[in-house]
Homo-oligomer: A and B are copies of this chain.
């Protein structure tokens, strides 16, 4: 399996409603994109200085299915309509879960 992790930092002007939409949007993805086998996500708990604001961990059966997710309309629309307007920074990685 492949694990995809994205960490997001919101811009200063981001509202609580936008943050709520981002979390809800991530949680709605697996129902619309079956290639996502597991998704956990959530806002930073504020336990340490300098943490990112939000993270999502998505697991896929293969790199091919991860690519299908990347190109899936539901993912593209979510990124363009919800995430991009509120995004200041993004860190991502994909690694093999073995």
Interface of A toward B, CB cutoff 8 Å: 2-3, 5, 7, 40-45, 47-48, 50-55, 57, 63, 66-67, 91-98
Contacts and interface: CB of A to CB of B under 8 A. Distances in A.
A44 B63 CA distance: 12
B7 A41 contact: no
Contact of A45 (B44, B45, B95): B95
Total copies of this chain within the assembly: 2
**Max count, chain B CB within 10 A of own CB: residue among A5, A50, A63, A66:** A5
A30 to B, nearest CB: 15
Given A7-B7, A42-B98, A51-B92, 9 more contacts: A3-B55, A5-B55, A45-B63, A45-B94, A47-B67, A52-B93, A55-B95, A57-B57, A91-B91
Nearest to A89: B91
